[in-house]
Amino acid sequence: MRKDFWKNIPIEKLTREEWEALCDGCGKCCLIKLQKDKLLAPIYTSVACEFLNLKSCRCTVYSSRVKKKKDCLVLTPDNLQQMVEWLPNSCSYRLVHEKKDLPDWHYLNKKNQKSVHISGNSVQNLAISEIFVAEEDLEDFIVKY
Ligand code: SF4
Ligand code: SF4
């Protein structure tokens, strides 16, 4: 990967490896969101997709996620513009799209894959799996991200 690629290279020119490496592994995009009106921003809940590993905050079915989860959000450089409002403010893709730098705790800065958890910026120990929550109770799990 090229040095400081997220600062120096336009998003559409990133290699596949660089694009994937941008993800901080927070797991926030795998939380269920509510949207009361199409014109309003989505509201986060602490209820996670059934396929999210709640300890590592990684998808357990990553290579087949589209087949396994029909509303899984698959980000690409081409759809980032349309999807950006569904991403949390801390999301690296959102930050780069908004021409902002990655936070200090991002592993690309810290060189430690666990820094997202250690700094309290992942959903580790904060999320509950959707298999334990009824759809009508989702509003009880609203959080701000
Ligand atoms: S919110 Fe962004 S940075 Fe965090 S896991 Fe999802 S895609 Fe990666
Ligand atoms: S299937 Fe999609 S939403 Fe579910 S954990 Fe995997 S990436 Fe996240």
Ligand closest to 24 (CA) is: 1
In terms of residue numbers, what domain contains 118?
5-143
**Residue pointed to by tokens 């991403």:** 87
User: Which residue owns the Cα nearest ligand 1 atom 8?
Assistant: 23
Q: Structural domain tally of the chain?
A: 1
Alpha-carbon 112 to chain mean position:
18
Residue 57 CB–ligand 2 contact under 6 Å: no
91 CA to centre of ligand 1 in angstroms: 5
Ligand 2 atom at minimal distance to the Cα of residue 27: 8
Distance in angstroms (rounded) separating the CA atoms of residues 58 and 53 = 5
b/e map of 122-131 (b: 16 or more CB within 10 Å)?
bbbeebeebe
Q: Each residue of 66-122: pLDDT tens digit?
A: 999 999 989 999 999 999 999 999 999 999 999 999 999 999 999 899 999 999 999
Provide the pLDDT for residue 105. Answer: 97
Question: Sorting pLDDT into bands at 50, 70 and 90, what band is 23?
Answer: very high
pLDDT band at 39 (very low <50, low <70, confident <90, very high): confident
**Mean pLDDT computed over 52-68:** 97
